């Protein structure tokens, strides 16, 4: 048998004391099997690895605010994945009796109707198409758009009822589309959108509509 050295390396999460015992055991078993080689221990986590000060190597725990935001996000998506139109429907029944109405001048359309017609005529931008193609969601987007925008009357009613709070309706529509993609994907047994992809789709659609919505909408969180 050619000469050589055996380097014994432990895995992650192994403490030095445990490694020393495992190293001796390996050398003894090798000798019993007739392998007469020099064993060189490589305790990289202690001797050769990074030196850390206990829990300082771990990230800080999430703040109460982050935990609350995560709980709210989880609850919202639970409702939406059960019924993608849920948030839009809640906007159609909001109390608008005490809110001023922006009545258009003769020959002009209401702002909410102009925005609705603009979004209803939307064709995916190149950026959105690339995002959908990368994840094989082109067909699911088309089906979601058909069910949410073309077939259901609820989104248009939500825009009308949200004439003074159009960002609420825009955000709800984008979320409904993404939720419908998730539902269709689950029904067909294909991977559903991850949280990062979900956020990317929401950001891309509202950006294309020139209706960027920052933060959580107040109606969904406070009035339901």
pLDDT tens for each residue of 175-217: 999 999 999 999 999 999 998 999 999 999 999 998 875 554 4
pLDDT at position 14 over 70: no
> Which range (19-33, 92-106, 117-131, 185-199) has the least confidence?
92-106
pLDDT for 13 equals 58
Cα dist from 116 to 143, 147, 177, 193, 200, whole Å: 19, 16, 15, 26, 22
How large a percentage of the chain has pLDDT more than 70? Answer: 75
Show the CA angle centred on residue 117, arms to residues 116 and 119, nearest 5°: 65
How large is the average pLDDT for residues 153-165?
92
| Residue bearing the bigger pLDDT, 133 or 58 | 133
In terms of Cα–Cα distance, which of 94, 7, 12, 92 is closest to 49? 12
Question: For all residues of the chain together, what is the average pLDDT?
Answer: 81
- Give CA–CA dist 120/155, Å, rounded: 10
pLDDT for 100 equals 53
- Give CA–CA dist 111/16, Å, rounded: 69
Show the CA angle centred on residue 213, arms to residues 165 and 64, nearest 5°: 105
pLDDT for 223 equals 43
Please, which pLDDT band fits residue 36 given cuts at 50, 70 and 90? confident
- Structure confidence by residue, pLDDT tens digits, 37-78: 787 877 765 555 555 555 555 566 678 787 777 777 778 888
What's this model's pTM, rounded to 2 decimal places? 0.65
Residues linked to residue 9 through DSSP beta bridges, in sequence order: 42
């Amino acid at each position: 048998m050619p000469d050589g050295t055996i380097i014994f390396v432990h895995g992650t999460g192994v403490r030095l004391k445990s490694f020393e015992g495992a190293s001796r055991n390996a050398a003894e078993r090798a000798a019993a099997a007739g392998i007469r080689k020099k064993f060189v221990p490589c305790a990289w986590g202690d001797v050769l690895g990074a030196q850390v000060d206990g829990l300082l190597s771990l990230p800080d725990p999430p703040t109460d605010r982050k935990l609350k935001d995560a709980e709210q996000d989880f609850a919202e998506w639970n409702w939406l994945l059960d019924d993608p139109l849920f948030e839009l429907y809640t906007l159609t029944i909001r109390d608008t009796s005490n809110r001023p109405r922006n009545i258009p001048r003769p020959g002009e359309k209401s702002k909410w109707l102009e925005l609705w017609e603009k979004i209803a005529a939307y064709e995916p931008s190149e950026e959105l198409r690339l995002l959908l193609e990368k994840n094989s969601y082109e067909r699911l987007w088309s089906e979601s758009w058909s069910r949410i925008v073309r077939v259901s009357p609820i989104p248009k009613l939500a825009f009308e009822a949200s004439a003074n709070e159009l960002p609420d309706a825009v955000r709800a529509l984008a979320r409904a589309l993404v939720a419908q993609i998730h539902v269709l994907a689950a029904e067909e047994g294909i991977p559903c959108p991850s949280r990062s992809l979900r956020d990317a789709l929401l950001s891309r659609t509202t950006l294309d509509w020139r209706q960027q919505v920052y933060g959580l909408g107040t109606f969904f969180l406070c009035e339901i």
